[in-house]
Structure formats: C-alpha cells, structure tokens
Structure 1
C-alpha cells in the first residue's frame, strides 16, 4: 500500500514584500529581522530615522533586503500617501505602540487620546490602507498587529492601555471577517512582558517584576526572540487557514 504524505507548508517568505512599523527598536526590530531572514524585502517604518538606517545597514550587511521609511503613522495623511504610492505589501506588521500607565481614577484625557491615536486609530487605518492596495491588486495578504496579553485580561494602572489593546482585538476580528473572501488574513500576536528598552523601568522595579514573574508560568520573562517565530508563522503560508485570531506568546499568563 502506498501512502501519500502531506506536504509541510512553507515558512519561507522569499519574494514577498513586508512593512513593519515601530521597527527602530525592541519588538518591531525583532519582527523586521525575522521577516528579512525568512526572505522578505522589508520596509522599516518608525519616527527615528537614525535608528532605522542603522537597522537597515545591519540587515543589508547580512545580505538581506531592507529599506527605511521614517514616518509617524499617527499622521494619517502622510501614512495614506506612502501606502498609496507603493506597491501593495504582502505582509504588514504593526508594532508601533505606547502606554501611559496610571490608576484609572487619575487617567487624563490627553493620555487617553495619545494612546488611542497610536494604538487604535493609526493601527486601524494602517490596515485599511494596506488592504485597499491588496484589493486593488487582487492579491492575498497577511496583516499582523502586535497586541498584548493585556488585550485579554485587565491590569492595575493599565485601564487605558488595556482598553486600547482590547479595541485592536475587536477590529482585527471584524476585518478578518470582511476580508476573508479576498484571502487577506488579519491576526494579532499577544506578548507578555518582553525585555526591551521601553520596559526596563518596569523590570527594574522589584515589586513590579515580582508581580510579572508570579503570573508567567514558564518561570522567566519574555525576550524579543520569543516573538520572531510567531510573526514568521503568521506571515507565511504555514498559517494559511489562520485569521481573526490571537496568537498568545504570554508564557501562560492568560491561562488562569
């Protein structure tokens, strides 16, 4: 008897075009590196031009394909223009984001607006602009939002941040439903606390670090490398049947 073995889907991204926001450091830098090493030509987006160009140089020195696009994605007119004048991106990873933590009773309107303008409004329209180009070209695509475990739970002093990430989960699900017939997939990656320059102050606070370590079941905090495989998976054909979902890279935090 002859058995026909199934073919393992490919994780390679050779020939694809990717755009990564928040690429100048931390999680965004790791995502851009992972996609470039998987074979994608990556457009690096962030406000800090010097850091972007340094990353571009580091990637091209490895023989990888990358270009820099200094841009503040909360400037929606500029973002729409840049997306319109470029060929459609097969992959978009939105890693741009920020947090302003405070007790809910002390939240200020300016903090709320600043967080939502970047974490929700800019993220929403980035995906809309990317999808429009894919629809015009009749191409499939994979849109990936770097969300958070806090999109699925609550946290002390994190009401505004949690609200913004819950909103991201909501619009990605709706977009996935609307755009599924065009084979445009929309998903989120939800990390736990990851060691980056932006989280250094949190990890340096013994009380906050103890709270984090208490909730992570794998008995260690997250590293940017923990997210690289998840992003390549969602960007590639290996996840061809995955849309409208959250890939939690949280060390078991939300298992409770």
Structure 2
C-alpha cells in the first residue's frame, strides 16, 4: 500500500461501481475498499463478482446494463449510496462504413444510456437524503480524439462527456459533483482486444510523451481523487489521464 492509500479516506461512505468485474472498475473497487469505502460492485459477470467478493468483501449485484429496465431496477436496489462510479463499457471494432446499427445501439445503450439511468437513481436518492455526493463517469480520450474502427465507441464517450456537463450543471445546486476521467489506452482486457497488435499500438504509443499506456490502478487513483473531498470544487470537468497525449 502506498502512503497515498489512506485507509480512512472513504470511511462511512458507500460507493456503487458499475463494470466492477474487470479492468478499471475492478481496480477502483479494490482501491476504494482499501481506503475504507463500503463497495457495491455491479457487473454482468457473476464469476468476476465472486472472485472480487472473495478479495475485498464487497456487496455484489449482477445485471446487464444494456437493458434499460434492468439498469433502473439494479441501481434502485443499490441505494442508498454516497458515491457512484459509472465504469461499465463495451467496444466493438468496426470500420465507419461497416458500423452496424445494432453495434452502435448496443454500445450507446451500455456506455451512455446506462450511465444516465444509474446516475438518475443515485442522484434522486442523494437529493432525497440531502447527501452531497460525487459521481465519476469513466470516459475516454476517444471522446475528443477520433480513433480508426472506434466510430460507435468514440461517439458514445463524447456523448458521455456531454451528459456529464449537464449533470454537473443541474445537480450542482444539490451539492452533487459530476466529472469524467478520460484515460488514453488503459491495459485492461477490453484494451488488449483493441490494441494487442503492435502495428496498431506503436503509432499510438509514439503520440504519448510518457511513452506508455495507462495502468488500471492509475485511473482508479484519479477516480478516487474526483470522488474525494480533495476535489471539492472540481465539477463538470473531463480529466485526461493520457501521459501528455493531448499536449502534443
């Protein structure tokens, strides 16, 4: 444990994390549990949830967030929470000219619509209880940078950033902060699928001044910052975790 992983930072707080089975969501669940939060982990994979529960002793919820009514009922079942991390996300690689309506709709349903529905349920509960909560939507550098074969994914992350700004504006008067974290390629199982080919990853790495991709724990630490009182006046921002990519 590093000196920054304060075991008391989130004591007494309950956090709901979607997409908690793998990658950034799982790293965030582990980190926040380490820092004293009560973690409610949501994933569509029961097997991933079982191993996570064994590791950190979290509460688990299994649902496919691509189904709007399932997303609403599972978010409702999770209440009351103080903090929310919308991390569930999917990608399907298709050239723009061959991007199917089905793939586009499915990606938008999971990456944007589910984040909206889950956040609506959490925010309603926070407002009802008078809780000044914090919400972090896990976006991507692809919200602002066009990546080949990622038409639907890039569109979904740009939409998530736009949604986040409106949430910050409307929920701010209730004391609820909303931000996105926007990592460059992060070494998760989903990224391995998209970036395992050195021919594809080499040009991307060349554009990152720090010359490497991001680790899930590095994104998790940024999420923890945005959830915590250390960022008490940060709301409505898209915080890049990109090794300097956007500066180039």
TM-score by length of 1: 0.90
Matched, 1:13 2:5: no
Task: Provide, for residues 74-94 of structure 1, a one-character-per-residue CA deviation record: whole Å limited to 9, x for no partner.
Answer: 233233223334432111101
Task: Provide, for residues 62-111 of structure 1, a one-character-per-residue CA deviation record: whole Å limited to 9, x for no partner.
Answer: xxxx1111111223323322333443211110110011122211111111
List 4+ stretches of structure 1 deviating above 4 A.
none
Does the CA-based 8 Å contact 2:138-2:181 persist in structure 1? Answer: yes
Which residue in 2 is equivalent to 1:145? 137
Asked which structure has the greater CA Rg, the reply is: 1
Query: How many Å separate the matches in 1 of 2:174 and 2:228?
Result: 16
Matched, 1:115 2:81: no
Does the CA-based 8 Å contact 2:21-2:52 persist in structure 1? Answer: yes
Query: How many Å separate the matches in 2 of 1:11 and 1:231?
Result: 16
Task: Provide, for residues 201-241 of structure 1, a one-character-per-residue CA deviation record: whole Å limited to 9, x for no partner.
Answer: 33331211112211111011111121121011011100111
Query: How many Å separate the matches in 1 of 2:123 and 2:114?
Result: 14
Give the number of equivalent residue pairs: 242
Residue 59 of structure 1, CA deviation: 1.0
Does the CA-based 8 Å contact 1:11-1:232 persist in structure 2? Answer: no
Map 1:169-188; keep pairs closer than 5 Å: 169-188=161-180
Query: How many Å separate the matches in 2 of 1:201 and 1:232?
Result: 26
Unaligned runs of 5+ in 2: 1-6
Map 1:37-52; keep pairs closer than 5 Å: 37-52=34-49
Query: How many Å separate the matches in 1 of 2:86 and 2:78?
Result: 17
Which residue in 2 is equivalent to 1:5? none
The more displaced of 66-75 and 128-137 is 66-75
Matched, 1:31 2:32: no
Task: Provide, for residues 162-207 of structure 1, a one-character-per-residue CA deviation record: whole Å limited to 9, x for no partner.
Answer: 1110000001000100010111111001011011222223333121
Query: How many Å separate the matches in 2 of 1:85 and 1:164?
Result: 26
Aligned partner of residue 20 in structure 1, secondary structure = strand
Which residue in 1 is equivalent to 2:3? none
Task: Provide, for residues 120-176 of structure 1, a one-character-per-residue CA deviation record: whole Å limited to 9, x for no partner.
Answer: 111111111111111111111111111000112212222211111000000100010
The more displaced of 82-91 and 239-248 is 82-91
**CA RMSD for the aligned pairs?**
1.5
